[in-house]
Amino acid sequence: MASEEIPDSWREALEPVLQTPEARRLGGWLRAEEDAGKVIYPPRGSRLAALAATPLPQVRVVILGQDPYHGPGQAHGLSFSVQDGVKQPPSLVNIFKELESDLGIARPATGNLMPWAKQGVLLLNNTLTVEAGQAGSHAGRGWDAITDAAVEAVATSGEPTVFVLWGSHARKKAGRVKGLGAGDHHLVLTSPHPSPLSAHSGFFGSKPFSQANAFLEANGRGSIDWAL
């Protein structure tokens, strides 16, 4: 993990876990995979980009997915997001379909979700790297402890926060929020993943965007402008 700069606001929460043998093994394994010629997304230096984009004190919503996009040029460190000019992946298309159904916001031309991140939406995945073309390939390699620590840092920060957990891997983190004693003043929204494989099983119609804004407004934290 030496190539990843821990953003200052997250340092106290993450440094202890990043110093563990498990995290060191993860860093060594990633380097070995790349040295063996495997392509890993997102590239080095952007694997903690979600934390850099959304400082801990500013987090109002956490959107948690499974792992990064595994196609070339897609993943850039924010869950579900792609850079300007990159074709929107099917999961993101479905997110935008639900956004339009929920709030009447037409599908944007860009798939870059950085404007959400800058408003306090932490766009995190359960696992922060993936091998090219191999969805889920880095699950169980050590990222869980790191993303658990990030979720716990938000949950214990004292501010009412919305946790949007999409997919079975993300939903496992619900206990990290509710089991900390501080979970009672948060809103936890869970649904199937927006992937075409599962979106019709309860993601569509889940209305996460309007529910998040209603909760934030009721708790004096303003609302998110979900338009891009």
Active-site amino acid positions: 67
DSSP code string of 114-139: HHHHHTTEEEEESS--EETTBTTTTT
* Whole-number Å distance between alpha carbons of 59 and 122: 6
Q: Where are the alpha helices (DSSP H) in the chain?
A: 8-18, 21-35, 49-53, 90-103, 114-118, 143-155, 168-171, 174-178, 208-218
Whether 65 contacts 166, CB under 8 Å: yes
CA dihedral 174, 65, 34, 49 (to 10 degrees): -90
* Whole-number Å distance between alpha carbons of 118 and 89: 22
- 227 residue type, one letter: A
* Whole-number Å distance between alpha carbons of 82 and 76: 7
